[in-house]
Chain A
Amino acid sequence: MKSGSNLEKIFEAGKFAVTAECGPPKSADGNVIVDKAKLLSGVVDAANITDNQTAVVRLCSMVSAHLAADNGLEPIMQMTCRDRNRLAMQADILGAAALGIKNILCLTGDHGCFGNHPQAKGVFDLDSIQLIRMYKNMRDEKIFDCGEEISVAPQLYIGCAENPFADPFEFRALRLQKKVNAGVDFIQTQCIFNIPKFKKWMEEVRALGLHKEVRIMAGLTPLKGAGMAKYMKNFVPGMDVPDAIVERMAAVEKGEPQQAEGKKIAVEMIKELAEVEGVAGVHIMAVEWEIAVPEIVAAAGLSPRPAVA
């Protein structure tokens, strides 16, 4: 075991893993995290604690991860290269490890122009691949990026994201290979709506044998309405939403019926994705709709979550 996290144990036990996302509030109200943690505790194996998601300032991911853990939800602490240099990213991971946080997700981060402080200086001292390698070296070689020794190294389960729908498509599986070479343990994909394209990417991933070296979690976002589907299709960078999905959502009445349809689509997709060779789990990104997660997980036949020792 690298970290002994619940997520790592689930994978090691050969179980299909389920993670969700738990977004911190745009305020100092820690109870928001406490409530979401209580909602998701036992429903998923672990949850991503986002780090200034879409470059919008929020309660910091380390403290939110700590609050989640205190309330029964294993955190996957996100860390973006946008807001910290290599000193801060190493200091924060030592702090997180000291608090008992074991899962870390290494991200370059959305560009600041998408957030609420577009005038901020983007740091980008490292990129996500360099960050993965730095954390792996901290854990396995017990060294800082500068080469100095760490007396007590952080025990981490290192994750990252990958977008199978970005371009150049022919390089996406190879870029995952680079992340594997850098030392990543698990990956979560960008939200999948275009399943045929995802399957094509997975074929390339399997051809490289990467599904045996890294745990691949298929990402998906339950749609709350037809408006959201259209918005994601047209305005969210890197998103590939087929027209058929937008039309299916629009074909039912707004409000409650569309929400039900969105959950239904999510459940169908989880079942289909779980059958894809090399998919080791599912990552449900219910953006500000965490309340839908328990129902979706149960309807997908993934409840209750296995206990692993």
Chain B
Amino acid sequence: MITAERKPLDELLAMLEGKDKVLVAGCDTCVAVCLTGGEKEAEILASELRIKAKADGRSVQIEHTSAIRQCEWEYLDMIAGKVAEFPVVLSMACGIGIQSMAEKFADTYVLPAVNTNMLGMPQEHAVWLERCGACGDCVLADTGGICPVVRCSKSLMNGPCGGSHAGLCEVTGPNKEEIPCAWALIYDKLMAQGRQEKLMEITPPKDWSKSSSGGPRKMVREEAKPV
């Protein structure tokens, strides 16, 4: 799923300066699962903003709503009436949802309440790990189901580099947390599968034009288009 983290309150307050009528809009799909921007989190954020305004002696109208998915027109239709009551929407959806809102409600000032960070999965309760870089040219068949594009800090296609130590990457996360070396994992997996020869193949340079280097991507399924 797509994961996101809420922006710090101070950043949101700076964005909302001078705006006294705000609708906080949650999204009940990906960002709800990662406990960042679902209806419940939208409700909490709306109250936080009201409490802050009250403490500052400002009179505001801050309410919340939520869409099943902010990234689809039909679900946005379902909250269109509510959105129309507010000049400003603080969207808690991922970057896709925020942009869909901004496009659909052209006269509304749509602001982001979250930072979208990755395509990840919950490894354990309340812990999400990046798993896909949406590179447009999947290599998982050759790497034992472990993605070197996003799980190797250097996106090596012929790893591991000299910084792999005891199964860990030389890079540590923002909170100094250990990162497993993707190529150590790939090595173990391919050896366990008896595919040593795969490790000896030189993977040629990747075609990044299928990724964001090729410009904004567009997918069309002709067979699925209405006749």
Mark A residues whose CB is within 8 Å of B: 81-82, 86, 108-111, 113, 122, 124-130, 133-134, 145, 161-163, 166-168, 171, 174-175, 177-178, 181-182, 190, 237-238
Residues of A within 8 A of B159 (CB): 127
Which of B12-20, B117-125, B162-170 forms contacts with chain A?
B162-170
Let me know if A238 and B162 touch, CB within 8 A.
yes
**Cβ contacts B176-202/A at 8 Å (1 or 0 each):** 000001001001100000000001101
B156 within 8 A of A: yes
Q: Apart from A133-B202, A237-B163, what are 9 other A-B pairs with CB-CB below 8 Å?
A: A127-B158, A145-B205, A163-B163, A166-B161, A166-B164, A167-B184, A178-B202, A181-B202, A238-B162
- Which of B166, B199, B205 counts the most chain A CB atoms within 10 A? B205
Let me know if B162 and A190 touch, CB within 8 A.
yes
**Cβ contacts B196-227/A at 8 Å (1 or 0 each):** 00011011111010000000000000000000
Measured CA separation A133–B157 after assembly (Å): 13
Tell me the smallest distance from the CB of A224 to a CB of chain B, in Å. 23
B153 within 8 A of A: yes
Measured CA separation A125–B212 after assembly (Å): 13
A-B pairs with beta carbons under 8 Å apart, 13 shown: A109-B154, A122-B154, A124-B154, A125-B206, A127-B154, A127-B161, A128-B161, A129-B158, A130-B157, A130-B202, A163-B161, A174-B200, A181-B202
Residues of B within 8 A of A126 (CB): 205
Counting chain B residues whose Cβ lies within 8 A of the other chain, the interface size class is: 20 to 34
Tell me the smallest distance from the CB of A191 to a CB of chain B, in Å. 11
B35 within 8 A of A: no
Given A162-B162, A181-B202: A111 in contact with B155 (beta carbons within 8 A): no
Residues of A within 8 A of B172 (CB): 113
Measured CA separation A174–B199 after assembly (Å): 9
Partner of B164 from the list A109, A161, A167, A177 (CB cut-off 8 Å) is A167
Partner of A163 from the list B162, B188, B199, B204 (CB cut-off 8 Å) is B162
Let me know if B164 and A108 touch, CB within 8 A.
no
Which single residue of chain A is at the shortest CB-CB distance from B149? Answer: A124
Residues of A within 8 A of B188 (CB): 168
Residues of B within 8 A of A174 (CB): 199-200
B171 within 8 A of A: yes
Given A127-B158, A168-B160: A237 in contact with B205 (beta carbons within 8 A): no
Measured CA separation A190–B208 after assembly (Å): 31
Measured CA separation A182–B204 after assembly (Å): 10
Measured CA separation A145–B202 after assembly (Å): 15
Partner of B205 from the list A86, A122, A171 (CB cut-off 8 Å) is A86
Partner of B156 from the list A124, A166, A177 (CB cut-off 8 Å) is A124
Given A166-B165, A167-B184, A168-B187: A82 in contact with B200 (beta carbons within 8 A): no
Measured CA separation A242–B107 after assembly (Å): 67
Which single residue of chain B is at the shortest CB-CB distance from A161? Answer: B162
Residues of B within 8 A of A127 (CB): 154-159, 161
Let me know if B165 and A237 touch, CB within 8 A.
yes
- Determine chain B's interface SS by DSSP, over half rule: loop
Let me know if A167 and B158 touch, CB within 8 A.
no
Tell me the smallest distance from the CB of A176 to a CB of chain B, in Å. 11
Let me know if A108 and B205 touch, CB within 8 A.
no
Tell me the smallest distance from the CB of A238 to a CB of chain B, in Å. 5
Residues of B within 8 A of A110 (CB): 163
Measured CA separation A190–B158 after assembly (Å): 18
Partner of A182 from the list B155, B157, B171, B202 (CB cut-off 8 Å) is B202
Partner of B208 from the list A82, A125, A168 (CB cut-off 8 Å) is A125
Given A111-B153, A178-B158: A168 in contact with B202 (beta carbons within 8 A): no
Let me know if A167 and B153 touch, CB within 8 A.
no
Partner of A130 from the list B160, B171, B204 (CB cut-off 8 Å) is B204
Given A111-B163, A111-B170, A166-B162: A129 in contact with B202 (beta carbons within 8 A): yes
Residues of A within 8 A of B154 (CB): 81-82, 108-109, 111, 122, 124, 127
Tell me the smallest distance from the CB of B165 to a CB of chain A, in Å. 6
Residues of B within 8 A of A129 (CB): 158, 202
Let me know if A171 and B160 touch, CB within 8 A.
yes
Let me know if B202 and A166 touch, CB within 8 A.
no
Residues of B within 8 A of A238 (CB): 162-165, 170
Which single residue of chain A is at the shortest CB-CB distance from B203? Answer: A130
Residues of B within 8 A of A109 (CB): 154
Let me know if B171 and A113 touch, CB within 8 A.
yes
Let me know if B164 and A124 touch, CB within 8 A.
no
Measured CA separation A147–B30 after assembly (Å): 43
Tell me the smallest distance from the CB of A124 to a CB of chain B, in Å. 5
Residues of A within 8 A of B181 (CB): 167
Residues of A within 8 A of B170 (CB): 111, 237-238
Given A111-B154, A122-B154, A178-B158: A166 in contact with B163 (beta carbons within 8 A): yes
